[in-house]
Amino acid sequence: MAKLSDIIEEFIKEMFNDSNNNIILIQRNELADQFSCAPSQINYVLTTRFTYNKGYLIESKRGGGGHIVIKQLNHEGSNERETIINQSIGNSITYHNAVDIIENLYESNIITDRECELMKIAINDRTLILTENRNKVRAEILKAMIMVSLS
């Protein structure tokens, strides 16, 4: 018998298949009611099964009933994404090395000048000043931005 997490994951993936779209909207509480589970179970599935490393982007919209947007990133350039994320970034990256990757993306015409500058600001030491382990946080931020840029 499949675990509840597996069942919820399959249900959400079926929603993508049924919609013929790469974006779906769900309401966490309604989904939890449907599966007779706690809303935290839905959160668990979303944070472990629908990550940007697996080709998904999650946004939480609050207010007006609130909902969660799940975007399935297109797989063009997925080999390039995998290489950059796993080999070049890993679990931790310095600012200098991160800037090298960003500038390479810019020089390859994958991102615009504005995107390049925004990415640099998002990962610089001043932005991450309150973070204890800047290089790990920087790596996660950079991975997310690259997933979106290469989708």
Reduced to 3 states (helix: H, G, I; strand: E, B; else coil), residue 90 is: coil
Q: What is the pLDDT of residue 26?
A: 92
Residue partners of 91: CB distance under 8 A and separation at least 6: 136, 139
Strand ranges inside 31-116, DSSP E: 56-61, 67-72
CATH number, span 78-149: 1.10.1200
| Predicted TM-score (pTM) of this structure | 0.56
Q: Domain ranges in the chain?
A: 4-72, 78-149
- Residue 50 φ/ψ, nearest 5 degrees: -125, 60
Look up the CATH superfamily of 4-72.
Transcriptional regulator CtsR, winged HTH domain (3.30.56.130)
CB 23 within 8 A of CB 55: no
C-alpha–C-alpha distance, residues 1 and 60, integer Å: 31
Supply the pLDDT for residue 113: 94
pLDDT of res. 121: 94
pLDDT at residue number 63: 64
Mean pLDDT, each 10-residue run in order, the chain (151 residues):
88 88 88 92 89 73 75 63 70 88 82 93 90 89 84 68
